[in-house]
Every structure is written in C-alpha cells, then in structure tokens.
Structure 1
Amino acid sequence: MTEDFYCDEVLNGKTQVHKVLETENVLAYYHTKPFYPVHIVAIPKKHISSLLTLEEEDTELFLELFGVIKQVAAMVTQEHGACRVLTNLGNYQDSKHLHWHIAFGNPLRSPSFPVEPC
C-alpha cells in the first residue's frame, strides 16, 4: 500500500469506488476492503495527513467533512439501528490521509494491528 492510498489511488481515479455521498471538498464511499459488513470511508479531497495535523485554515473543511460523516452515520443508523464512527492515529493509521470510518456490524476478520484491551 502507498503512504497515501486516498490521494494516490482514490482521488486520482486509479481505484474506482462506490460513492455514498460527495460534496465539493469531501468524498464518502464504500471501503474497498471492508472490515465490517457495512463499511464507509469519508475523506477530505485536500490532503491532510491526520487529525493531529489539522491547521486553523482547515476549519471550514473539517466542518464540511463532519457534516458528511453525520449524514452518512444517520443513513447507516436509520437502516441498521446503529453504527460506529472512528478514525485512527499513529501506527493504527495505515494511510497517512485523514479519513473516518462509518461502520456497522461485527468485524469480518481480525485487525492487522495489536488491539489493547479496554
């Protein structure tokens, strides 16, 4: 996998995706290798490497991104009764591009990273 799958593959059209919702600055689509039965990814179209690297000038984009996440989460929750919304940081973040997962159901496989007990 490249360092930034979303810029290198999705946003430039190399990897085709099934779009759920798209705005001028945000794309939400079904995950190409889902970890859950319903697994949607929401990304900004601008490269931002992670939640920790957001800058003040990204505030409007962040609000737009969260508006899309909210809409998609509402759709999944309406259809399935629940959903998860999460992002990963550090070694848990495979692709170094800010992205959020909107998911429903039990995992389809074990995670590829170590999971600490809660």
Structure 2
Amino acid sequence: MDIDAYSGPDFYCDLAIPHPERLEVVHEDELVLAYHHTRPFWEVHIVVVPKRHIGSLTAVQAEEEADIRALLRTVQSVARSVEDAHGAAGVLTNLGRYQDSKHLHIHIYSGALR
C-alpha cells in the first residue's frame, strides 16, 4: 500500500508500525515509534506513536500506563533534541474531529508552516 495514497482510519496500525522501513525513523523501541511525518506541516515535523493501538489521549486506560510512560519519555527526548537544534519546539495532539487517524499520536514540530 502506498503511504502517500493511504486514506484509511488508522495509518499507524495499518502502515507506520508494521512498515517502519518506509519511514524516516527517529526512534523505535518495543513500545514506541517516532518518525518524520510523511506529509509535514512544519519545517521539522516528527510524529510519536505508541505501537499498541490506543484511540486517543482521552481514551487511555490504566492497563496502558507503560505505553503512555514510554510515549512521554520519547516525546520529551525528541522534543528536547528539536528544541536544541532549532531553538524552539511545539508538542501537539488532536482529539475528536481534529484527529484524522484514530490512534493516539503526538506531533513535535518547529519552524514555519509549509
């Protein structure tokens, strides 16, 4: 399946997590994947996603605590690297209608909108 042509409900479970070799990976471990966005909105645009399917930040359950802790550790580390390299970084997640892919993911960005 072509990454650029994907239009399904969960890009992360369907393409990103099973095929990290198609991505520009920043970090990967057993719980988390971080990579440069395939269609960046900002000059620097990295997505961090738990490998376990979690619908959104507001859908997190107690049994997913290890996944969320690993996700936040990775977000902190990647955001620090972006901030150090570019002087600033933003961290963002979306909910409800704002969330195109129904899988928790966090954007780390810096620079002008593209």
The gaps in structure 2 that reach 5 residues or longer are 1-6
Deviation at 1:59, TM superposition (A): 1.0
1:49-64 alignment to 2 at 5 Å? Answer: 49-64=55-70
Deviation at 1:4, TM superposition (A): 0.3
Query: Distance in 2 between the 1:15 and 1:52 partners?
Result: 30
Task: Tell me what 1:95 maps to.
Answer: 101
Deviation at 1:18, TM superposition (A): 0.5
Percent identity for Structure 1 against Structure 2: 47
* TM-score (normalised: structure 1): 0.88
C-alpha RMSD of the superposition: 1.2
The gaps in structure 1 that reach 5 residues or longer are 109-118
Q: Does the 8 Å CA contact 1:9/1:15 hold for their aligned counterparts?
A: no
Q: How many residues align?
A: 108
| Structure (1/2) with the larger strand percentage | 2
Query: Distance in 2 between the 1:62 and 1:14 partners?
Result: 20
Q: Give the letter for the 2:98 counterpart.
A: Y
Query: Distance in 1 between the 2:47 and 2:18 partners?
Result: 16
Task: Tell me what 2:84 maps to.
Answer: 78
